[in-house]
Chains A and B, each alone.
Chain A
Amino acid sequence: KAGVTQTPRYLIKTRGQQVTLSCSPISGHRSVSWYQQTPGQGLQFLFEYFSETQRNKGNFPGRFSGRQFSNSRSEMNVSTLELGDSALYLCASSLNPGQSYEQYFGPGTRLTVT
């Protein structure tokens, strides 16, 4: 069974631009979550989607948004990029984390904002 895949793996953007990251969950998984990892803040929760519905959202500004499609694939978008948005963005998939299923992470997208 293929694991969680994320594209692109690396991105370099300029301040003020916007970016879209993509995540394909493990086949059969309907929940997708996004996390930001930085050396200073560690791993922080962005949002979680289940069957195209956002069930929870972390404490991030409105510039961070996401969506989930009917095939469970998910995208997250960051608009008006800031230097502080440079981070490793990780996607996780699960059958349903609210029912105690294991979460599996992808390799991440490394975003550098210059």
Chain B
Amino acid sequence: KQEVTQIPAALSVPEGENLVLNCSFTDSAIYNLQWFRQDPGKGLTSLLLIQSSQREQTSGRLNASLDKSSGRSTLYIAASQPGDSATYLCAVCNDYKLSFGAGTTVTVRA
């Protein structure tokens, strides 16, 4: 059974600081890994998708890395802004389903 862990559970940083969010998973037989953002009471917004054959994916201020062999992914958010405050979820895809971590709740202080 796939287990996904996200560390830390919560993070509070001043505006402008870079964010580093970690995700680990136990079964490396994955199709891909997705990072999502969730605002309170809302659905999930896809941020980045990394295919199992890729090592890195970038979109604007976001950069995600994937080390499938060690079962790890890291999401970097550069120059954080108050609007980045949200819960960030990591999910790995195999057997037509996503297995999610519990998320990292980020607060960016103005």
Contacts and interface: CB of A to CB of B under 8 A. Distances in A.
A56 B97 contact: yes
Main secondary structure of the interface of B (DSSP, over half): strand
Nearest to A31: B96
A10 B103 CA distance: 24
Nearest to B42: A107
Contact of B98 (A45, A99, A100, A107): A45
B96 A50 contact: yes
A87 interface: no
Contact of A48 (B32, B89, B96): B96
Given A42-B100, A99-B31, A90 B44 contact: yes
Contacts of A31: 96
Interface string B71-110: 0000000000000000001010101111111110000000
Contacts of B103: 42
A66 B91 CA distance: 22
Nearest to B93: A97
Contact of B43 (A42, A90, A97): A90
Interface in A31-58: 31, 33, 35, 42-43, 45, 48, 50, 55-56, 58
A65 interface: no
Main secondary structure of the interface of A (DSSP, over half): strand
B96 A56 contact: yes
A97 B42 contact: no
B63 interface: no
A25 interface: no
B34 interface: yes
Interface of A: 4, 31, 33, 35, 42-43, 45, 48, 50, 55-56, 58, 88, 90, 92, 97-100, 102-108, 110
Interface of B: 31-32, 34, 36, 41-46, 49, 51-52, 89, 91, 93, 95-103
Closest 8 CB pairs of A and B: A43-B100, A105-B44, A107-B43, A45-B97, A102-B49, A56-B96, A105-B43, A48-B96
